[in-house]
Structure 1
Amino acid sequence: MSTDPGAVLRQLRNERGWTLTDVSKRTGLPVSTLSKVETGKMSLSYEKLLRISAGLDIDITQLFATPSPAGATSVKLSGRRSITRAQEGSSIRTSTYSYVYPAADLLKKVLNPMFIEVEARSIDEFDDLMRHPGEEYALVLEGRCEFHCDLYAPAILETGDSIYFDAAMGHAYVAIGPDPCRILSVCSADSHELKSTLRPVNGDA
């Protein structure tokens, strides 16, 4: 199932009585960008998704969950469990990656798993390297990729190879060759760190 984060953002904003300007102040994203996201005219990078989730004080996976009916109350879970079948999961596509988020129904997770289809074939396709709080583990499930980061030389990762790193370093995955490259990534991020780190960036579109 693919859910539009823009529709979820619009519902959350309306439920809270916020304008696009209010959301812009909380996330640091321009009003024009937020408007395009809500109307489905623009996709979002993972970093911007994190900034929106931090500004709205929600788990990032809530942006991919089916909006709750008006007046519905959240249920506190005990002994949480979530099963995601093959070909299921909330998904979103950006210019460089296609993401599928399993266990999207569980909010406030300690770990955030993602299946990433690497679309980028050159590091030049990235406006900036991605960075976010916490640590990240990535396992190459299919294909080959080149891992780029701030502090180390690029590294080639083959099928079955994995990497664990400090996600505060700028980083990016670039597919090598014509074959698909698919990665399982698991990120850790503290919600308080997100809110303190993902502050408005002047001129970010």
Structure 2
Amino acid sequence: MPAKRSKTVIVAAPAAAPNPGVALRALRRQRGWTLAEIGARTGLPISTLSKIENGKMSLSFDKLTRIAQGLEVDIGELFSNQPPAGNDAFSGRRSITRAGEGYAIRTENYDHLYPASELLNKRLVPIIAEVRARSLDEFGELIRHSGEEFAMVLEGAIELHTELYAPARLETGDSIYFDSAMGHAYIAAAPGRCRVLAVCSGGEAHLREAMARQDAARYEPPRPSRARREDG
């Protein structure tokens, strides 16, 4: 079995987006809550929340999820300059994401890039993932989340492991549609980069919860965020 690596999560927000720690402080003060009250809502220690607010601690996917759930906001509100939009505001909206844009989350198993990151409460969640794990032992627990999922291999090859079917090998250009409530894992099956476009239904909250359950508790120190590329 390969040795387990420290599971690092790096969030790279667009340059124009607010710092999540700053957003946390603003939302907390807007609600008139203390750090102790946020701690009770999120299960995070006061010292951890203080470090996050002051930019002295890396933001793991698990921490982002707990904060969003504790504050009862969409996770995009920790990164987006847009005010929250109600369900009636969906008509006619659109988002263009240039190559390399979006916000990125790096875990042991995947490098995730989320297009259309400024849109809140999306009904579909598109993800471009570079698959890093090369065995189920390396991947760990299968992921489950509500809804359905479409995946197309963009580069290399992957094996999709599920709890109900034999592993399916997918080459570049191949695609699959499946019930994502079924435990599943993308495994890199070719040398070099293996990338997949996944489009998930069921809402971002369920997807975040599933990723947070699969993520580990140990993280490396924060690294500088990658700025959004400017057009022109």
Q: Same fold (TM over 0.5)?
A: yes
Alignment partner, residue 13 of structure 2: 3
Q: Which residue does 2:27 correspond to in 1?
A: 15
Aligned length: 191
* TM-fit CA distance, 1:127: 3.2
**1:59 and 2:69 aligned:** no
Shift of residue 15, structure 1, vs aligned partner? 2.0
Residue 108 of structure 1: aligned partner: 121
**Could you list the per-position Cα deviations for residues 38-97 of structure 1 after superposition, in whole angstroms to 9, with x for gaps in the alignment?**
34446437xx7656544443334444x24x4xxx85466441011111121111111110
Report the structure number with the largest CA radius of gyration: 2
The amino acid of 1:188's aligned partner reads S
In the TM superposition, residue 16 of structure 1 has moved relative to its aligned partner by 2.2
Secondary structure, in 3 states, of the residue corresponding to 1:11?
helix
Which position in structure 1 is the counterpart of 2:103? 90
Q: Would you say 1:162 and 2:179 are equivalent positions?
A: no
Partner of 1:44: 61
Note the aligned Cα RMSD (angstroms): 3.7
CA distance change for structure 1 residues 90 and 118 in 2, over 3 Å: closer, same or farther?
A: same
1:134 maps to amino acid: G
- Which residues of structure 1 form unaligned runs of 5+? none
The match for 1:184 is: 197
Higher relative contact order (CA 8 A, sep 6+): 2
Give me the whole-angstrom Cα distance separating, in 2, the residues matched to 1:50 and 1:166. Answer: 23
Residue 152 of structure 1 corresponds to 165
Alignment of 1:63-142 (within 5 A): 63=78, 65-66=79-80, 68=81, 73-74=83-84, 77=89, 78-142=91-155
CA distance in 2, matches of 1:181, 1:156: 12
Q: Distance in 1 between matches of 2:159 and 2:50?
A: 32
Deviation, structure 1 residue 23: 5.0
Normalising by structure 2, what TM-score? 0.65
User: What SS does the corresponding residue of 2:130 show, helix, strand or coil?
Assistant: strand
> Shift of the alpha carbon at 1:159?
0.7
Q: In 2 relative to 1, CA 190–119 (structure 1 residues): closer, same or farther, beyond 3 Å?
A: closer
Instruction: Decide whether the 8 Å contact of 1:37 with 1:43 is kept in 2.
Output: no
How far the C-alpha of 1:189 sits from its partner, in A, is: 1.3
TM-score when scaled to structure 1? 0.73
Q: Percent identity?
A: 49
